[in-house]
Amino acid sequence: MENDKHIPLKDLVKTLYQGVKSMNQGEASNEEVNDLLTIAREIHERLAVLRYKAFEASVAEDKKVEDVALENETDESQIDLIDSIEEVSLAEKHQFKPLSSVGEGLTILERANFTSILFSNDDLNFNDMLDAVDKCRNTEEATRVFRKAMKPSGSKEDIELAQSTFEERIPRIF
């Protein structure tokens, strides 16, 4: 991947989509999953650069307009700032949205992180735990099933963070 010349963003997204499809069908090897991670990272980096460039351009335009209108809008900008602080971001809105399954909406990175840290890279045990948690009748039972299935590996801090992050998902299925 590193030796390739510049690949258009559209082609990277298409490759990632096909790889995820292959992975979901159980046809992807460990090397292919690592390649998908590299592609996802490349897409993320490019989007971050594009977002920065768009922000930089809008700031330059806003600066010109702001210099002219600054005298008239001092009070309004304070009100807008207060309103914007109270607005909830889209990510925050969906952070506690109910889930039909505890595994619903897990990103590839989250799934890999949980499997690696909490289940010692045992995909089968992780998937079995997801199924068992989904069958539970309440949050307490689901949390017990999750904790019992865990076979953590890694630093204590990483384990605690991954465990608490996953446990925050459990109440969302009830």
- Give 26 or 97, the one with higher predicted confidence: 26
Question: What is the residue-averaged pLDDT of the chain?
Answer: 82
User: Is pLDDT of 173 > 60?
Assistant: yes
User: Is pLDDT of 112 > 80?
Assistant: yes
pLDDT tens, position by position, 27-79: 888 899 999 999 999 989 888 888 888 877 777 766 666 665 555 555 555 55
DSSP letters of 19-73? Answer: HHHHHHTT---HHHHHHHHHHHHHHHHHHHHHHHHHHHHHHHHHHHHHHHHTTT-
Q: How far apart are CA 66 and CA 72, in angstroms?
A: 10
- Residue 145: its pLDDT value, please? 96
- Give 100 or 124, the one with higher predicted confidence: 124
- Residue 126: its pLDDT value, please? 94
